[in-house]
Amino acid sequence: MEDPIGSNRKFARTGRSWTALRKDLHRRRTGDLDWNDLRNLKASYNAGEDVADVAWQAYSLFQGDNLLYGNLLYPSLPAMAEEVVGMALELFDAPEGACGTVTSGGTESIILAVKTARDWAQSERPVPGRGEIIVGRTCHAAFNKAAEMLGLHVVRVATDAGFRADPVAVSDAITENTIMIVGSAPAYPIGCLDPIGALAALAREHRLWLHVDACVGGFFLPFARDLGERVPDFDFSLADVTSMSADLHKYGYTSRGASLLLLRDQELSRFQRFSFNDWPSGEFITMTIAGSRPGGAVASAWAVMNYLGHKGYCERVEEILDIRRRLAAMIDALDGIHILGSPVAGIVGLGGDGSFDMAALRDTMAAKGWQFGPLVDPPGINLLLNFRHGAIIDAFAADLAATLEEAKAGTLERSSEPARYGN
């Protein structure tokens, strides 16, 4: 857990030279993982050094500019944000009149989606009690964070055998207080795509807000589909999808600190907007949780999207799909371990058949230096693939095969640290 910090009270008396600080920074990060280390199968959206360079250069050009004052001082920023949103709306087949906002990350997009849905419900279809949101068990924890902040309640329902939200369970969970349902495209823990079409039918029948969380898959699935992969409809092509979240700083490959909240109908954005006038500085209007917003994040997203273009994204997705197929073949050849469900994007979950301690295998692979997301329920391994992982996937599978033998022999132990996702 991240503890509150504040015990180290040492304000520098005088400044130091950049040369000295730079050296200090390099020394400080010697214990850190390099984010694009090839053994990082946890959170490395590595699209190549050239892409990282474009992201960084564009960010640094605008690093002092603030999107909060975009319309007043830095009109290039809202213009770039408009283009970024427009590209995403086209990608997700949004109808005329749809709109979007650049946010700081998936969690902010999700909190804003929940706030917008809550205020829409209060105005358009009030419920008698505390508003409820129904999500599948694998849905991201950010929805619980949002609900906690916004006075709502999340109902997590069972997934089916394929780790997808079960529409029957969702339907059974709908009450007079339900305002919103959520589908993940895909969900982070196991990488499976919820049945968005079936959820859309429920949303229509009960007049509910349907949010599609495409934070991790938004800049993957459309390209996979264009490459001929079978990707069920998950976006605004389904008429009852009300909003979507899609992260630019994941498979969009831009600098950290950029995501999108998209709304089917601009008319709904009045429930997203915050506006306040009764203070000395005049009208204050924002569409985001943040006030000041980094101009660099928008410039970086704009530059990377235009640098890669549809073709560049497709090339990276094609490579990842190939790595996923190679991994699947190698896992297939192992006895006792399998891929969970049917992954649709770059996330793959691995589980065991129950004949050995999968949690001990997971912890031992982590102790051997492989970085991946832990799965707790079912115990397993969450891999997040990038297009450079072709270089290590054979080594990973070989290490997994050897560790599996040890697990079957019962010689492995679980870590005493609890498996966790964040800090």
Q: What is the CA radius of gyration of the chain?
A: 22
List C-alpha distances in Å: 88 to 99, 218, 367. Answer: 10, 9, 39
Question: Interface with ligand PLP includes 293 (CB under 6 A)?
Answer: no
Per-residue string for binding with ligand PLP, 79-98, x by CB under 6 A? --------------------
Residue closer to ligand PLP (CB basis): 105 or 295: 105
Amino acid making up residue 16: R
Please, what is the minimum distance in Å from the beta carbon of residue 326 to ligand PLP? 23
Question: What element of type H or E holds 410?
Answer: none
Please, what is the minimum distance in Å from the beta carbon of residue 187 to ligand PLP? 6
Q: Restricting to residues 328-347, which ones interact with ligand PLP according to CB under 6 A?
A: none
Which residues touch 303 (CB under 8 Å, ≥6 apart)?
Answer: 54, 55, 57, 58, 254
Q: What is the DSSP letter of 270?
A: G
Please, what is the minimum distance in Å from the beta carbon of residue 276 to ligand PLP? 26
Question: What element of type H or E holds 242?
Answer: none
Question: Interface with ligand PLP includes 106 (CB under 6 A)?
Answer: yes
Please, what is the minimum distance in Å from the beta carbon of residue 160 to ligand PLP? 18
Bin 341: left if φ > 0, else alpha if -120 < ψ < 50, else beta: left
Backbone angles phi, psi at 337, to 5 degrees: -130, 145
C-alpha to C-alpha distance for 263 and 246, rounded to whole angstroms:
12
Which residues touch 392 (CB under 8 Å, ≥6 apart)?
Answer: 38, 39
C-alpha to C-alpha distance for 380 and 395, rounded to whole angstroms:
18
Residue closer to ligand PLP (CB basis): 142 or 297: 142
Question: Interface with ligand PLP includes 247 (CB under 6 A)?
Answer: yes
Selected from 70, 105, 136, 195, the binder of ligand PLP by CB under 6 A is 105
C-alpha to C-alpha distance for 176 and 208, rounded to whole angstroms:
11
C-alpha to C-alpha distance for 16 and 12, rounded to whole angstroms:
9
Selected from 101, 184, 300, 382, the binder of ligand PLP by CB under 6 A is 184
Residue closer to ligand PLP (CB basis): 108 or 166: 108
Please, what is the minimum distance in Å from the beta carbon of residue 373 to ligand PLP? 9
Q: Restricting to residues 196-215, which ones interact with ligand PLP according to CB under 6 A?
A: 213, 215
C-alpha to C-alpha distance for 288 and 186, rounded to whole angstroms:
24
Please, what is the minimum distance in Å from the beta carbon of residue 106 to ligand PLP? 2
Please, what is the minimum distance in Å from the beta carbon of residue 138 to ligand PLP? 9
Residue closer to ligand PLP (CB basis): 187 or 327: 187
Tokens at residue 19, please? 């040369």
Question: Interface with ligand PLP includes 258 (CB under 6 A)?
Answer: no
C-alpha to C-alpha distance for 357 and 365, rounded to whole angstroms:
13
Q: Restricting to residues 7-36, which ones interact with ligand PLP according to CB under 6 A?
A: none
Q: Restricting to residues 296-335, which ones interact with ligand PLP according to CB under 6 A?
A: none
Kindly indicate which of the ranges 48-56, 80-88, 181-189, 392-400 contains the residues binding ligand PLP, using the contact rule CB under 6 A: 181-189
CA dihedral 46, 300, 193, 261 (to 10 degrees): 160
Please, what is the minimum distance in Å from the beta carbon of residue 184 to ligand PLP? 5
Q: Restricting to residues 117-156, which ones interact with ligand PLP according to CB under 6 A?
A: 140, 142
Residue closer to ligand PLP (CB basis): 120 or 219: 219
Question: Interface with ligand PLP includes 194 (CB under 6 A)?
Answer: no
Please, what is the minimum distance in Å from the beta carbon of residue 228 to ligand PLP? 24
Q: Which residue is nearest to ligand PLP (CB)?
A: 106
Please, what is the minimum distance in Å from the beta carbon of residue 42 to ligand PLP? 10
The total number of residues shown for the chain amounts to 423
Beta strands in 33-92 (DSSP E): none
C-alpha to C-alpha distance for 188 and 208, rounded to whole angstroms:
24
Q: Which residues bind ligand PLP (CB under 6 A)?
A: 105-107, 110, 140, 142, 184, 187-188, 213, 215-216, 247, 259
